[in-house]
Amino acid sequence: MKLTKAERSWILYDVANSAFTMVLTATIPVFFAALVDNASIESVTNNFLVKTLFFKNAELALSGNLEAYAALKTSLFGLTTTVAVIIVAFIAPIIGAIADHKGMKKKMFSVSLLIGVSGLLSLGVTSDWFAYLYLIIIARIGYSAANIFYDSMLIDVSANDRMDYVSSMGYAWGYIGSCIPFTIGIFLILTTPFNLSTALATQISFILTALWWMLLTIPLLKNVKQNYYVDMPDNIIRSAFKRVFATLKKIKKDRRLLLFIIAYFCYIDGVYTIISMATTYGTEVGLEATGMIVALLVTQFVAFPSAILAGILAKKYGALSLIKIFIVIYGLICIYGYGLNTQFEFWVLAVSVGLVQGGIQSLSRAYYGKIIPKDESSEYFGFFDIFGKFADFFGPLLITISASMFGASKYGILALIILFAIGFVLIDRIAKVKTTS
C-alpha cells in the first residue's frame, strides 16, 4: 500500500516523539534514581513532599531499610506520571474542542510540542532530583497534549479503509526510528567519550533526543493540513465548553463508542503502566540498569515488524479480534512479571511486550478514528486521551500504592490483570453490538 506525502509526514512524527518515550521509559527513571542516590538520604526523606505522601517508606529508609528506600524512589517517579496525566486529562477535551476550529489544530499542536521539547531540554541541564521531578511533569504534559492533536490528524491524512495500516506504520517506524537517538545516547553513557562523566553523557542524550523530536516534526508542520473542522465562533472558549458537554451526551448515547472508551481505559491502563514503570520496577527488584536498557532497545526492533503485521492482519481478521488477543497476552505478561527477579526474565518480558504493544495501541487509535465524527476529531480524541491518561494515572498509582503499603511493587503488577479482564469482556461486547446493530 503506497503512502501519500501527508501520511509519510504524519508517520514521521511517531518517529520523532517515540524517541522521548524511549528515554522516558529507560534512561530518565534510571537517571532520576541516581540523582536521588547522590543526594543525602536525610535530605530526601526530610523533603516536605516525601514526608507528606510517603512518610512510612521515608521512616524505614532513614532507618537503613534498603527495600523501603527502593520503593520510595519507585513511588516518587510514579508520582510524576500521576500528576502529569491528571493535568492533561482535565484539559484534554477543552483544548481538543478548541483545536477542531478552523486553523487551530496545528497551532495547538505547536504550542504543546514547544512545552514538551523545552521540558526535555531542561532535563539535560538539571542535576537536582526535586527540580527533576517538576521537569519530567512539564515534558510529559507537552508530549501528551501534542499527541491529542497528532492522533486526531490521522483523520486528516487517511481514509477509513487505510487507517489501520497507516496507524500501525506510525507505531512501527516510531519504534525503529526512535532507536537512533537512543542508541547514540546509550553509546555516550556506556563509553563516556571525551572524558565525559556518566551523568553528563546522560544529560547530553536528553538534549539530542529533544533536538531529534523537534527536527523530525517539521515535515508534519509543513505537509499535513486540517481538512476537517468546525467554523470559528465569536467566543472560542465558550463554544469549546458547550461542545464538550454536547459531545459527552453523544458518547453516552452511542453504545459502541461508550463501551470502547471504557474498555480502552481498562486495558490501556495496563499497557501504559508496563511501559512506563518497566525499568523502575526492574531496578527495585535489583536488576542491572544497563542490561534492562539494552533489553528495551531490543524490544523496539521486535515491535517494528509486529506493529506492521498487526495492521495487515486487521484488514483480514478485524481490529477488535486482534485487540482481544493482545489483551490476553498482556494478562499472561502480568503473571510472568509478578515473579520476575532475573535479568533473563526481564529480557523475556521485554520481548513479549514488544510483540503486542504496537498492535494494541495502533489498532485502538485507528478503530476509534473510524467511529467518531471527522469534523470533531480533536475533541473526540481529547476524550480518548482523557481515558488513556486516567488509565496512565491509575496504573502507576496502583504500583505506587503497592510500593508504599507492601514495600514492593509486584502486587500492583498482578492487580493489572483485573483491568485487562474487564477490557476483554467489554471489547467482546462491542463486537456483538457491531454485528447486531
Among the ranges given (36-45, 119-128, 146-155, 427-436), the one the predictor scored with the smallest mean pLDDT? 427-436
| pLDDT tier, 241 (very low <50, low <70, confident <90, very high otherwise) | confident
DSSP 310-340: HHHHHHHH-HHHHHHHHHHHHHHHHHHHHT-
pLDDT band at 24 (very low <50, low <70, confident <90, very high): confident
> Which has the higher per-residue pLDDT, 141 or 287?
141
The angle subtended at Cα 414 by Cα 291 and Cα 349, nearest 5°, is: 30
State the Cα–Cα distance between residues 95 and 91, nearest whole angstrom. Answer: 6
Of 272, 415, 403, whose CA–CA distance to 334 is shortest? 415
DSSP 168: H
Residue 148 cell numbers, joined: 491529542
Structural domain span for residue 55? 5-436
**Which residue, chain included where needed, has cell 485487540?**
323
**Average pLDDT for 357-367:** 89
Q: How many domains does the chain have?
A: 1
Residue 135: pLDDT band with limits 50, 70, 90: very high
CATH code of the domain containing 181? 1.20.1250.20
**Concatenated DSSP letters of 362-416:** HHHHHHHHHHS-GGGHHHHHHHHHHHHHHHHHHHHHHHHHHHHHHS-SHHHHHHH
Average pLDDT over residues 340-368: 85
Q: What is the pLDDT of residue 437?
A: 41
Q: Residue 101: phi, psi to the nearest 5?
A: -75, 155
Instruction: Tell me how many helices (H) and strands (E) the chain has.
Output: 19, 0
Q: How many CB atoms lie within 10 A of CB 97?
A: 27
More confident residue, 230 or 305: 305
β-bridge partners, 101: 230
CA angle (242 as vertex; 239, 245 as ends), nearest 5: 150
Q: Is the pLDDT of residue 303 over 80?
A: yes
Hey, which residues does 230 pair with through a beta bridge?
101
C-alpha cell at 347: 529480557
The per-residue pLDDT for 71 is: 77
Instruction: Indicate if the pLDDT at residue 421 is higher than 70.
Output: yes
Lowest mean pLDDT among 46-50, 54-58, 228-232, 393-397: 393-397
With a cut of 70, say whether residue 249 has pLDDT above it. yes
Measured CA distances, 168 to 28, 80, 308, 385 (Å): 26, 29, 6, 18
Q: How far apart are CA 424 and CA 412, in angstroms?
A: 19
Segment 197-206 shows an average pLDDT of 91
Mean model confidence pLDDT for the chain = 85
Phi, psi dihedral angles at 98 (to 5 degrees): -65, -40
Quick check: 436 pLDDT over 60? no
Pick from 162, 154, 197: nearest CA to 38: 197
Q: How far from chain centre, in Å, is Cα 200?
A: 26
Query: Do the Cβ atoms of 375 and 228 come closer than 8 Å?
Result: yes
**pLDDT above 50 for 323:** yes
pLDDT at 9: 96
Q: Given this model, what pLDDT does residue 281 score?
A: 61
Instruction: Compute CA distances 386 → 7, 89, 246, whole Å.
Output: 25, 4, 16
Residue 360 has pLDDT above 80, yes or no: yes
Question: What confidence tier does 15 reach under pLDDT thresholds 50, 70, 90?
Answer: very high
Contacts of 318 (CB under 8 A, 6+ apart): 431
Question: How much is the pLDDT for 363?
Answer: 93
The predicted pLDDT at position 396 comes to: 67
Q: How confident is the model at residue 109 (pLDDT cuts 50, 70, 90)?
A: very high
Alpha carbon dihedral 358, 360, 365, 371, in 10-degree steps, equals 150
Angle between helices 55-62 and 377-406 in degrees, nearest 10: 40
Residue 435, pLDDT above cutoff 50: no
